[in-house]
Amino acid sequence: MTSAAKSARGRGWLVSLMLATFAIGTDDFVVAGVLPAIAADQGVSEAAAGQLVTVFSLTYALAAPPLAVATARWPRKTLVVGGLAVFAVINVVTALAPTYAALMALRVLAALAAAAITPALFALAGGLAAPERVGRAIGVVASGLTMSLFLGVPIGSLLGSAFGWRSTFLAVALFTCAVLAAAAATLPALPGAPKIGVGAQVRALSRTAVLLSVLATVTGAAGGMMTYTYIAPITHDLTGRGGAILAAFIGVVGVAGAAGSVAGGRLTDRWGADRALLFTFGVLLAATAALAITGFVGGGTAPVWLVMIVLAAWGFGGWGFNPPMNARALRLAGDAGTEAVALNTSGLYVGIALAGGLGGTAVALYGGLGATVAATAIGVATLFLMLFSVRRYPSEPTPEASDPTVGTTIRQE
């Protein structure tokens, strides 16, 4: 471990990284909360305004891996602090955007900045933490994204309602400036990745182990995020309730998700990334299946308290598998760890897009209950894929691999 990494212990670097993901997550998701205001102000339909969310996600998914490769040798502090400065400026300009076309272009730029910063935040957490605390450090950083859903987005939406949608982006910009100052003060100066060449980076990312891990992220997000994306029709079909109770359901998921992010990190340190990944995703799958069963048995009149309990379990597992997922990617890719996290995050966004498309079809044909069944089916396939991937390509040394009398190493291909 470098002296910079050692000196980072006990300081505020981890809080700075978490606040950075909170700012980025809020900027990404808050558009949904001010869509009607944006549509009215720009003279477009809400469906058209919704494409601001789509273009952000697609840009992030496509840009994260190549940006990670391109910036691999940049000093980490320079990348994070500089990236946050650019991100803040983009949000200020977004608040002043005169046209819908300008807004669309600015969402692309914001996604590029986020795609450059976010993988580095997770890699920094893994690199600065003590070896026995890597998982929980990644979990804390991941919790920033979760908290942006149930804290940042509602606050941004309230600001938008009170002062107009432009105030929301100004608030994100101001908060990002505060995070930038904290990061500049607390992050140690760390060099970029060793010079291994673009070809070597691509070879590391194209390992079967890494690609299987990313594929599991895609399918896991497709099934898992389907429940969150269509939580309104799902909970309505299960309980017959809507309106204000929906906010309570979303709040339960958010709080449980934040707890799951931290717990997933702790489990990664205690059990290893592979076992923690299987456990947390297993909780997610069990909760999704429980929602489907509740729908079939309850006949649309399931108790609200029961659905809340199941949704809490779902939120715990749904965000709990993020830390071991990223820790596994970091370990499988070696020196290309940051790039692997970027590729993994791209897979997450692709999965979210698939969740929206496939879930929308299921809801249109069979209602909210159809979405729970589809999510469960995808989840079962994902669990088998994870089991195969973990068994075939473990991210931690097996007893045989770590035994010096046995001339083997962890199999990467």
DSSP three-state, residue 341: helix
**Domain-ending residue, one of 192, 207, 235:** 192
Task: Please indicate, yes or no, whether residues 37 and 141 belong to a single structural domain of this protein.
Answer: yes
Q: Which domain holds residue 236?
A: 197-395+406-413
Q: What is the pLDDT of residues 189-234, one digit of tens each?
A: 776 555 555 555 556 666 888 888 889 999 998 988 888 878 888 9
pTM above 0.75, yes or no: yes
How confident is the model at residue 403, as a pLDDT? 42
How confident is the model at residue 197, as a pLDDT? 52
How confident is the model at residue 202, as a pLDDT? 59
Secondary structure of the chain: what % helix, strand, coil (to 5)?
85, 0, 15
How confident is the model at residue 401, as a pLDDT? 42
How confident is the model at residue 291, as a pLDDT? 95
Strands (DSSP E) contained in 201-333 are none
**Beta carbons within 10 angstroms of residue 34's beta carbon:** 24
Residue 318: which CATH number?
Answer: 1.20.1250.20
Length of the chain: 413
How confident is the model at residue 109, as a pLDDT? 96
Ranges of residues in the chain whose predicted pLDDT is under 50: 1-7, 398-413
DSSP string, 85-107: HHHHHHHHHHHT--SHHHHHHHH
Task: Please indicate, yes or no, whether residues 182 and 244 belong to a single structural domain of this protein.
Answer: no
Instruction: Classify residue 86: in a domain, yes or no.
Output: yes
**Domain-ending residue, one of 169, 192, 215:** 192
How confident is the model at residue 158, as a pLDDT? 85
Token pair of 23 as six digits: 């700012």
DSSP three-state, residue 411: coil
